[in-house]
Structure 1
Amino acid sequence: MSKYLTIAEIAELAGIPNSTCRRYLASFESFFLVRGGNRVKKYEESAVKVLKRVKHLYEEGQDTNEIHDILRNEFPLVIDDDHEQGEAAKQPPGLATVEDIAGIRAALQEQKEFNKVLLEKLEKQQEYINSRLDQHDKLLMESLKESMEARKQIAATKNEKKSFWQRIFKRN
């Protein structure tokens, strides 16, 4: 279960003055999970990490819009459901960060390479099967020709009626 902290506690953990912390929380509210009403708000402990990142980006000279774009790539946005008053806002099941997308791209590249190897193996198998089928077909055709020749010879010998004397002396 997540731990929720007051603004003063978050400001202290992040090393940011209380007033600056409030300004950051208001400017980038879509990145923070909040519990409580207007009077006493508590923020999820993960807010400290976001606030430190915001402070660092401001120190680098980024403006608010640029920081918002950067945070959108690094942290999930919080979707607040208005009819759930008094309950903690729920974090979406997962919005991809830059690292997530990089991981997905790497996995996709590995999958492409695996698919390529698999297709090559399948092509080799198909070539082997085709060559074996061709050999089998040739042997079958040769056997069929031999069988037809034997039938012709048998039929030819049956059609010839030899006389009694030809059969005894084996003359043709």
Structure 2
Amino acid sequence: MENKAVTTEKAYSTSEIAVMLGIAVPTARKYARQMETSGYEILKSKSNARLFVEKDIMALRYLKELREKSNVTVEQAANIVLERFDTETIQTVTPSDTPDTKQYSKQYDELKELIVHQSERMEELHKIMEKQHEYIQFRLNERDKLLMKTITERLETQKLIAAAEAEEKENEKKSFFSRLFRK
């Protein structure tokens, strides 16, 4: 017959245990799975996720030390841990052990509000950038028109100067021949 005891201990997830023990999450799962195979009972949440209490943390820490300090397999280490730790008492997690969903809900709402605010701000900045782009394009077009007008005027002026110089040379030629033949 199972002896169920209610505890108010904090329960930790596999990822939290992995951080505490300084091991990878898959390693923590492997150790927990092997301990369960050997007969050690670990609490489970309603969604069937493992929940570790202090006793479990000590057992996993001991298993880790056995693996590091001796040349035993995970299965052998789990059996040694099972002999050392009492597994008769199965603890159930009370609602106080589960994460404070109100706190997470509040944090979620705050993050959601922040994301909405940032999205609105990004939209405003996007509109400002579009206006700046339009202004820059307008100014570039105006500059290009003015530049083309200036270049055209300069070319026309150079043509007029060249035509005037050509006419002057023609006049000089005529005057030279007219002086030559008049005498």
TM value normalised by structure 2: 0.43
TM value normalised by structure 1: 0.46
Q: Which has the larger radius of gyration?
A: 2
Greater relative contact order (CA < 8 Å, ≥ 6 in sequence) = 2
Normalized per residue, which structure has more helix? 2
